[in-house]
Homo-oligomer: A and B are copies of this chain.
């Protein structure tokens, strides 16, 4: 695996309970990209969050990536960018990049919708979810995780092939919290998560996204 020289002046803004932030920081860490990490208190109203985050976060969300004088938002859009610009953790050719994008959009609309909301409803703000909504989200989670599980039926190690990619970083974003939420995780998905945990530099989201000491 080749690595580009460390990018100059890269800063990631995120939060320790944000799986969307985790996706991006995990990709940077696994690709050994040097960067600064700045935690943002997302439970504060946007107007009270510090600059430059407040002005730069177009959708008022973490993660936000500032790379020299360029500003990027939306976790999966950032992962697309990393797959294009970094060697070794994404798309080495146009065909693989097209697959990267297809999976990232599947994630954004399926597992990346159901799972974060199941978690938010159970652990943070049940009052934001009308009665019945948690059941609907949970039934979608079950469909989505079964779809992902079926993907590993041919025995390959990661989602695209035997090499880890930003797609794995996106799809696992909220899954390391599944056990504490009491969610069912099928066997092949569990094995794939263990393979991710064995990557050099891997840490659980709460460690990887904690405030630097």
Contact = CB atoms under 8 A, between A and B. Distances in A.
Nearest to A73: B102
A7 to B, nearest CB: 15
A72 B95 CA distance: 10
Contacts of A112: 109
Interface residues of A, number: 31
Q: Helix, strand, loop or mixed for chain A's interface?
A: helix
A101 B130 contact: no
A208 B81 CA distance: 33
A98 to B, nearest CB: 6
Contact of A130 (B70, B80, B81, B136): B136
Nearest to A139: B130
20 contacts: A72-B98, A72-B102, A74-B102, A74-B106, A75-B105, A76-B108, A77-B101, A77-B104, A80-B80, A108-B108, A108-B109, A109-B112, A113-B113, A130-B132, A130-B133, A130-B139, A132-B132, A132-B133, A133-B133, A133-B136
Interface of A: 58-59, 70, 72-77, 80-81, 95, 98, 101-102, 104-106, 108-109, 112-113, 129-133, 135-136, 139, 147
Given A74-B102, A129-B132, A130-B132, 6 more contacts: A72-B102, A76-B108, A77-B101, A81-B98, A105-B105, A131-B132
